[in-house]
Structure 1
Amino acid sequence: MLLLLLLTNAFVLLPWAGAGRIIGGRKVKAHSRPYMAFLEIQGDPKNYSCGGFLIRPDAVLSAAHCVDIKGIENVTVILGAHNRKSREQSQQKIRVRQWVIHPQYCPDDFKNDIVLLKLKKNAVINKNVKLISIAKKNERVGEGAKCNVPGWGRTSLKSLVSDVLMEVDLEVQNEKRCQFSGDYERQSMICVGDKYSEKAAYEGDSGGPLVCNKKAHGIFSHMYDDSLFPEVFTRISHFEPWIRKQLKKFSLNIIPCFPFSD
């Protein structure tokens, strides 16, 4: 599971200890979230993992802090997985060619925590591997919206790590709940998670999507203090123009050597 790093008043979901937890969630029907990606990250001295999601046959979105670590040697994306440890025929393992971290990403306060990964070859789109739409520039998800977060991991704080894909239902909160730290940015972040629901994504679901109305609106980034609530997701709609710009570069093959940040 991912370790937590205390920086000012926030914990970032550091990815180097494997898959994380879905608290109060449920097992999803096999291959019912065909956009989900499991990121295997080979590093020195540790290997670790993160979540992500497929937005184009050659592109996966995730959190910048997943790959903003020294010593990364290789990143492999597994698509079409339900049981991530099983050799399912549905799985496609594709190496990442390069990645683009947002140029204004700040690891100290987790602003602009977004990365776009370019695959070495296109994924084969089929019933088990599909794309998910992302929120457009002016498309905001507001307080009270019912969303879900899929991920691989534990079902409680003390349980064993789950091999199969889980999912938790979460509600978008009033942004004042996240603004107490001073690091929360309304335009680029989403405040998620009601303490009374006893449900959360946690420790290892970094990079996974916040899905609202079958569209990806957020990327799991970090949380505050040592509580499960609230949690902060990167707001995809704010970065949609940047994402489109990078995808155009991918198509034109205008890509420098990795890792790179612009």
Structure 2
Amino acid sequence: MALLENFNNQLVCGGWLIDKSWVLTAARCLVWGFPWHRDIRMVYLGVHSLKKATKGSIQSIKVKKNFPHPEYNAKTNKHNIMLLQLKSSVKLTKTVNIKALPNPVTDMPAGTRCLVAGWGRTAKGGDPSDVLLSGNVTLIDRKICSRDYNDNPIITNEMLCAGHNNDSPPVDSCKGDSGGPLVCGGEIWGVVSFGEGCGNMKYPGVYTFISKYDKWIKETITTAK
């Protein structure tokens, strides 16, 4: 897991290491304003607690360049995915390691049990979590998910939806979790993208479906190198 800091020294998002010098996250982690955006400047790896750093476990690395998807739409959250190229390669340790992307698949079936992780809020309007948390969610059919959102936005084939498991309180991603991973069967298939509130049983969390961007990810990394 990676913790991302923006230009204003704010810890804003999650992500994860897919290569020694590349982090995958969400494009919405940038600060947008026509015709500019402000970049993620720093990545922290090996973090568990935000307040109590474990000596020797954390690596802080500056970001060389932000690569948001060129077709990202902040209103519809389409193509909400971004690559961060680091200025230097990370040192692989017990607390810092790579989680490479799986071979792409056509789709993920509804009912699949998954896990989402991050340092985001644990309740709407609450504070970010001090420690890295995770919770179990279940993939939901896109048609049902799109209906839940009244087709605003429409849930596309480039997105996955995941909701509660009748937990009390319901499990969900929340503000501050954007860019973090959705893990299903030990592999990362989604990027935390957006939702409505936090733990709202009427609105599943929505995730960018990584398999649809496998070609873009590989081409971006190859071109940059």
1:76 and 2:42 equivalent? yes
1:1-262 alignment, distance < 5 Å: 36-43=1-8, 47-70=10-33, 72=38, 75-88=41-54, 89-138=56-105, 140-157=107-124, 160-180=127-147, 181-182=150-151, 183-194=153-164, 196-197=166-167, 198-224=170-196, 227=200, 229-251=203-225
SS across alignment from 1:238: helix
CA displacement at 1:174 relative to structure 2: 1.4
Identity rate, percent: 32
Describe the superposition over 1:103-159 as per-residue Cα deviations: whole angstroms up to 9, x where unpaired: 111111000000000000001112111111324332532201111111114444576
SS across alignment from 2:118: strand
Tell which deviates more after alignment, 75-84 or 139-148: 139-148
Distance 1:165 1:66 in 2: 18
Give the structure, 1 or 2, with the largest relative contact order (CA under 8 Å, sep 6 or more): 1
CA displacement at 1:177 relative to structure 2: 2.0
Which residue identity does 2:2 align to in structure 1? A
Residue pair 1:39, 1:49 contacting (<8 A) in 2 also: yes
Call closer, same or farther: CA 1:174–1:101 in 2, change over 3 Å: same
Aligned residue pairs, count: 214
Residue pair 1:188, 1:235 contacting (<8 A) in 2 also: yes
Which residue identity does 1:196 align to in structure 2? N
SS across alignment from 1:247: helix
Distance 2:142 2:122 in 1: 27
Distance 1:225 1:83 in 2: 24
TM norm structure 2: 0.86
RMSD of aligned alpha carbons: 2.2
Describe the superposition over 1:202-241 as per-residue Cα deviations: whole angstroms up to 9, x where unpaired: 1110110101122110001111478353111000000011
Distance 2:154 2:120 in 1: 27
Q: Give the gaps of 5 or more residues in structure 1.
A: 1-35, 252-262
CA displacement at 1:195 relative to structure 2: 7.0
Residue pair 2:26, 2:178 contacting (<8 A) in 1 also: yes
Distance 1:230 1:130 in 2: 30
Distance 2:114 2:49 in 1: 23
Q: Give the gaps of 5 or more residues in structure 2.
A: none
Residue pair 2:5, 2:42 contacting (<8 A) in 1 also: yes
CA displacement at 1:162 relative to structure 2: 2.4
TM norm structure 1: 0.75
SS across alignment from 1:76: strand
